[in-house]
Chain A
Amino acid sequence: MTQPASRSVGHYQYEERDRTFLQERINEFEGQVRRRLSGELSEEEFKPLRLMNGVYLQLHAYMLRVAIPYGVLDSRQLHRLADIAARYDRNYGHFTTRQNIQFNWIALKDVPTILRELAEVDMHAIQTSGNCIRNVTSDEFAGAAKDELMDPRIHAEIVRQWSTLHPEFTFLPRKFKIAISGSPEDRVAARFHDIGLLARPGENGPLFRLFVGGGLGRTPVVGQELFDSVKEEDLIATLEAVLRVYNAFGRRDNLYKARIKILVQTIGLEAFRKAVEEELARMDRAAYRLTSEHVAQIRARFALPDLKAPADAADVLEQHKKADPVFARWVASNTHPHQDEGHICAVISLKTPGAIPGDVTAEQMHGLADLSERHSFGEVRVTHLQNLVFGHVRKDQLHELWQGLKALGLAAPNVGLISDIVSCPGLDYCNLANARSLPLAQKLGARFGDADLQAEIGALSIHMSGCINACGHHHVGNIGLLGVDKRGAETYQILLGGDAGENAAIGGILGPSFAEDEAVDAVARIVEFYLGQRQKGETFAAMLKRCGLKAFKEVAYETV
């Protein structure tokens, strides 16, 4: 299928009916705002309705969370987000760990207008919040990574459509998050989602390994494997069955025990599986079959990149690296191998040391959109670690892209390194938080900002949350930081040993919490200890296993 050159690759191209649907959804929301203002709807009634359309009431203002399905944007969408940031917010947006973007300073009266402006570029805020099935997330290197078994985005789109205004699952006990990856390297934290799907090709079509009941928040749980190989035709039926069991039996008496993980824990995986299998046995499977025709229709609405590169593209990149060591360092940390020899995936760090993780100004968004048109088929991906990815960059043009990124102040060579800090917005914005996250993240970023030091430390992740709701995923960082309220003071607990991937693990709490500057020093001592004691090639996780949490604890509390 040929696409006009202005169309981007990487996401589903809307048809007319999708656009009509968005208009109808906006009309609905506009009516809800009107009924709230007239008093016909109470705030208690309006709240879940506005949340289902991405509108939160935060500490200082309304926040609007815009959906970026499976994290893929096109350049005209990014330009539009920049315009919205400039016109309705304070000239910036914040990319989140669920691959969405948030605007933190929105007036409620502007929301319907903003939604119309988003709809013009096929975007919306549907189900970015509320107790419903949330925006589906996926692998930031989907359709590009060399290690990929199968592009997960087609099925991510199918799940997105299936979950959109699902009549049975719009008033669930609690929110419900689904992630899908097609790589053996779990880059979506599948085991930390309500449902995590790992897709792979099978002899007779795609198969899905399904994890259930994972999650972070107050009660971090590693998801368990419900089914090893769900067939493509059974994918929707299986999701329906899991959601039906959850909707019927998930707790509704206690907000903090309402996620599916608690249900699975309480009744046990075997009983849960039996309930799901009973649903499947009773269900009219033909009515819920995901047909290969339907999959083909969705697939046809994804444009593929035309991956043509000169034969010497890889050589040219090597020459550029040799000539420019600063560039070479950026390539070492900020790229990922592509399926095509002549191409490479570039990761754009939104963690410039000292800056707020995930924040991008309107000017940077415009600049990135322009660069993506020149270098990545107008396609930009958002990662669950709050960075951006250009999926298909010609190797011989990577240096040019890097120069463009430098001009935008977005060339920090720190992806996967210690200053690539994941953080929630914290008490600066959020009324749930116990402590601010951003100043600590900024201080840590600055402390380890030196590129040589970071390269020496190597792969090491810091995740920061301002409260136990864990939006910064502090349980799965090598080093996790959690804001806690200690008799009215903002303090920080340190956790060590988390892992979001294949070897999923929840970090262990080191001990009593630290004041902000003490926490920075304690992290510095932990890192120093790692540098001094690690064996050749030993990762932080491996050394922690060898030496034990206690050894790290002694170091962390040394001078406190």
Chain B
Amino acid sequence: MKLFDLSGRKPLEAASPVPFAEWKETRQGTAISLAPDVEVEELRSHLGSLTLIVLEFPVFRDGRAFTQARSLREYEGYEGEIRASGHLLPDQAIHFRRCGFDSVVLPDGANVKDWEDQLGRYQFYYQNTAVSPV
């Protein structure tokens, strides 16, 4: 598994994430993964014990995790790492970063340069977001 650092905020977590439903039973470890149909409010009382939340993209067109990430940052005040995993495109790199993601699990055979190029593509954006106020 190869990670790509989007935000450069801090070193990326090495821990293996556990699906949230499973984690709730055992509360072992500090890394979870979350399906896109889970409302992030369910995590509220657990956020203090988490250092990595992996948000899943079953297909790149399914944009629910963008709203999950932004809710974690804006509403829940979560400060730990948010990571995107699943079917991802480099074309989404800026969207990930601007919604509060720190990292992505690079798909097999990904061209890292595409991801890097995309991050530097635009000089400004038209709107405020969780991590990039205009």
Contact of B91 among A24, A28, A161 (CB under 8 A): A28
Does A48 have its Cβ within 8 Å of any Cβ on chain B? Answer: yes
Q: Per-residue 0/1 for B15-53: is the Cβ within 8 Å of any A Cβ (1 yes, 0 no)?
A: 000000000000000000000000100000000000000
| Pair A168/B60 contact, Cβ less than 8 Å | no
Q: In the bound complex, what is the Cα–Cα distance between A398 and B78 (angstroms)?
A: 63
Minimum CB–CB distance from B85 to chain A (whole Å) comes to 16
Contact of B67 among A17, A41, A161, A244 (CB under 8 A): A244
Q: Per-residue 0/1 for B72-92: is the Cβ within 8 Å of any A Cβ (1 yes, 0 no)?
A: 001100000000000001011
Chain A positions 17-48 with a Cβ under 8 Å from a chain B Cβ = 17, 20-21, 24, 27-28, 31-32, 35, 40-41, 45, 48
Minimum CB–CB distance from A399 to chain B (whole Å) comes to 44
Knowing A28-B121, A48-B61 touch, does A247 contact B128 (C-beta < 8 A)? Answer: no
Contact of A20 among B111, B123, B125 (CB under 8 A): B123
Does A356 have its Cβ within 8 Å of any Cβ on chain B? Answer: no
Minimum CB–CB distance from A252 to chain B (whole Å) comes to 6
Does A110 have its Cβ within 8 Å of any Cβ on chain B? Answer: no
Does B94 have its Cβ within 8 Å of any Cβ on chain A? Answer: yes
Q: Closest chain A residue to B133 by CB distance? A: A287
| Pair A247/B122 contact, Cβ less than 8 Å | no
Interface size on A, residues (CB 8 A): 37
Candidate in A27, A167, A236, A244 with the most chain B CB atoms within 10 angstroms: A167
Interface range on chain B (Cβ under 8 Å from partner) = 35 or more
Residues of A within 8 A of B133 (CB): 287
Residues of B within 8 A of A247 (CB): 63-64, 66-67
| Pair A170/B114 contact, Cβ less than 8 Å | no
| Pair B128/A287 contact, Cβ less than 8 Å | yes
| Pair A170/B95 contact, Cβ less than 8 Å | yes
Q: Closest chain B residue to A132 by CB distance? A: B63
Q: In the bound complex, what is the Cα–Cα distance between A404 and B123 (angstroms)?
A: 45
Chain A positions 130-171 with a Cβ under 8 Å from a chain B Cβ = 131, 161-171
Interface of B, secondary structure class, is loop
| Pair A164/B126 contact, Cβ less than 8 Å | yes
| Pair B91/A167 contact, Cβ less than 8 Å | no
| Pair A161/B126 contact, Cβ less than 8 Å | yes
Residues of B within 8 A of A172 (CB): 63
Does A288 have its Cβ within 8 Å of any Cβ on chain B? Answer: yes
Minimum CB–CB distance from A282 to chain B (whole Å) comes to 5
Minimum CB–CB distance from B34 to chain A (whole Å) comes to 13
Residues of B within 8 A of A45 (CB): 60, 89
| Pair A162/B64 contact, Cβ less than 8 Å | no
Does B7 have its Cβ within 8 Å of any Cβ on chain A? Answer: no
Residues of B within 8 A of A166 (CB): 126-127
| Pair B63/A40 contact, Cβ less than 8 Å | no
Q: In the bound complex, what is the Cα–Cα distance between A166 and B122 (angstroms)?
A: 13
Minimum CB–CB distance from B44 to chain A (whole Å) comes to 12
Contact of A131 among B61, B111, B126 (CB under 8 A): B61
Q: In the bound complex, what is the Cα–Cα distance between A24 and B120 (angstroms)?
A: 10
Q: Closest chain A residue to B124 by CB distance? A: A17
Q: In the bound complex, what is the Cα–Cα distance between A40 and B113 (angstroms)?
A: 13
Residues of A within 8 A of B126 (CB): 21, 161-162, 164-166
Residues of B within 8 A of A248 (CB): 39, 64, 67-68
Q: In the bound complex, what is the Cα–Cα distance between A40 and B115 (angstroms)?
A: 13
Q: In the bound complex, what is the Cα–Cα distance between A48 and B64 (angstroms)?
A: 16
Does A283 have its Cβ within 8 Å of any Cβ on chain B? Answer: yes
Q: Closest chain B residue to A173 by CB distance? A: B63
Candidate in B70, B74, B91, B95 with the most chain A CB atoms within 10 angstroms: B91
Q: Per-residue 0/1 for B100-134: is the Cβ within 8 Å of any A Cβ (1 yes, 0 no)?
A: 00000000000100100110011111111100010
Chain A positions 160-195 with a Cβ under 8 Å from a chain B Cβ = 161-172
Minimum CB–CB distance from B105 to chain A (whole Å) comes to 17
B-contacting residues of A (Cβ < 8 Å)? Answer: 17, 20-21, 24, 27-28, 31-32, 35, 40-41, 45, 48-49, 131, 161-172, 236, 244, 247-248, 252, 282-284, 287-288
Given contacts A171-B62, A283-B74, 16 further A-B contacts (CB under 8 A): A131-B61, A161-B126, A163-B127, A164-B126, A164-B127, A167-B94, A167-B95, A167-B98, A168-B67, A169-B66, A170-B63, A247-B66, A247-B67, A248-B64, A248-B68, A282-B75
Please, could you name 5 A-B residue pairs with CB atoms under 8 Å apart, sorted by A? A40-B114, A167-B94, A168-B129, A170-B66, A170-B95
The 9 closest A-B pairs by CB, nearest first: A171-B63, A167-B95, A167-B98, A161-B126, A168-B66, A282-B75, A247-B67, A164-B126, A248-B67
